[in-house]
Amino acid sequence: MTWHTHRHAPAPGQRLCALENVPDGVCTELRYGAGEDAFTMLLYRSGLAVKAYVNCCPHFSLPLNSRPGEFLVLGGGRIMCAYHCAIFRLRDGYCVEGPAVGMSLDSVPIEIRDGHIFMALAA
């Protein structure tokens, strides 16, 4: 199953949040649905650019964070998975160190329009 078929994944074109609510340089968690079945994704903002990824480490298929909203963001635009320490580049989701080397975070296509972040229409 890919994230596209997750029953709580936002639909193409759905508004996610206002750009001004996404702090620069760190990760912001978005959650859809409740409990174990929730779909969670993270946004990483660098200036006016925003990347979005499914919040799931490809190593053990666990979330990258162990506490809601708390991510281990490293200098140089990287993130470390809280469970087994895989380190990913946030600009492209590629794992550069740790147990998921060679794997990538699943990218979520988004668009920014009029100061708001939306799921891309082609998602």
Q: x/- string (CB under 8 A) for another protein, residues 16-35?
A: -x---xxx-xxxxxx-----
Q: Which is nearer to another protein, 107 or 121 (CB)?
A: 107
SS3 per-residue string spanning the chain: CCHHHCCCCCCCCCEEEEHHHCCECCEEEEEECCHHHCEEEEEEEECCEEEEEECCECCCCECCCCECCECEEECCCEEECCCCCCEEECCCCEEEECCCCCCECCECCEEEECCEEEECCCC
Q: How far is the CB of 115 from another protein (least distance, A)?
A: 16
Stretch that binds another protein, among 3-11, 47-55, 77-85, 109-117 (CB under 8 A): 77-85
Where do contacts with another protein occur on this chain (CB under 8 A)? 17, 21-23, 25-30, 36, 58-63, 65-75, 80-86, 98-101
